[in-house]
């Protein structure tokens, strides 16, 4: 499957037309990440939002596993939206491919698609709630 086909299968993009998807695709940069690498680190400033195309990652806060993420999941929205330090560390469990957007590209994505913006908003609020409740998986 090509990266384009994989993008079309990502839930976040499921309500977009082909032309909308093409536009959104231009905002993103595919990045290959080796297993074991940290994609973002708790406490550091956040400059990128990422969507997983391939592979899986573990989310840890204060060393404890709080979630596992896989293809179609996104992360890094909290620090980028709010300008706060990263709330957790996300580590690649396998070799991965992620699509990365910097602050400006992420902001354009939200402007271009209210449907995506809503999904990210719902995800962010759920995660904040879990962080507050100290949910551990």
| 16/90 with CB nearer ligand CMP | 90
| 8/124 with CB nearer ligand CMP | 124
Q: Interface with ligand CMP includes 130 (CB under 6 A)?
A: yes
Q: How far is the CB of 3 from ligand CMP (least distance, A)?
A: 21
| Cα 114 versus chain centre, distance | 17
- Indicate the SS3 state at residue 90: strand
How far is 40 from 99, CA to CA, in rounded Å?
14
Give me the sign of the Cα torsion angle 8, 4, 101, 87: positive
Q: How far is the CB of 10 from ligand CMP (least distance, A)?
A: 15
| 13/106 with CB nearer ligand CMP | 106
Q: Interface with ligand CMP includes 131 (CB under 6 A)?
A: yes
Shortest CA distance to 53 belongs to which of 29, 77, 37, 36?
29
Q: Which range in 14-22, 83-91, 94-102, 103-111 contacts ligand CMP by CB under 6 A?
A: 83-91
Other beta carbons within 10 Å of 20: 15
Q: Interface with ligand CMP includes 79 (CB under 6 A)?
A: yes
- Indicate the SS3 state at residue 54: strand
- The DSSP line for 83-100 is -PPPSSEEEESS-EEEEE
8 A C-beta contact, residue 98 and residue 51? yes
Chosen residue from 67, 92, 98, 120 binding ligand CMP by CB under 6 A: 67
* x-or-dash string of contact with ligand CMP, 24-63, rule CB under 6 A: ----------------x-----x------------x----
């Amino acid at each position: 499957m090509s990266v384009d086909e994989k993008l079309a299968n990502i839930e976040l993009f499921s309500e977009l037309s082909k032309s909308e998807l093409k536009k959104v695709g231009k905002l993103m940069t595919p990045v290959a990440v080796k297993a074991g690498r940290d994609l973002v680190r708790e406490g550091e400033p956040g400059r990128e939002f990422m969507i997983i195309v391939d592979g899986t990652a573990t989310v840890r806060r204060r060393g404890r596993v709080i979630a596992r993420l896989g293809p179609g999941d996104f992360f890094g929205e909290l620090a980028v939206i709010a300008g706060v330090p990263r709330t957790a560390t996300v580590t690649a469990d396998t070799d991965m491919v992620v699509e990365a957007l910097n602050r400006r590209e992420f902001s354009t994505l939200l402007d271009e698609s209210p449907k995506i913006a809503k999904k990210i908003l719902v995800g962010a609020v759920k995660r904040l709630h879990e962080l507050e409740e100290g949910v551990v998986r």
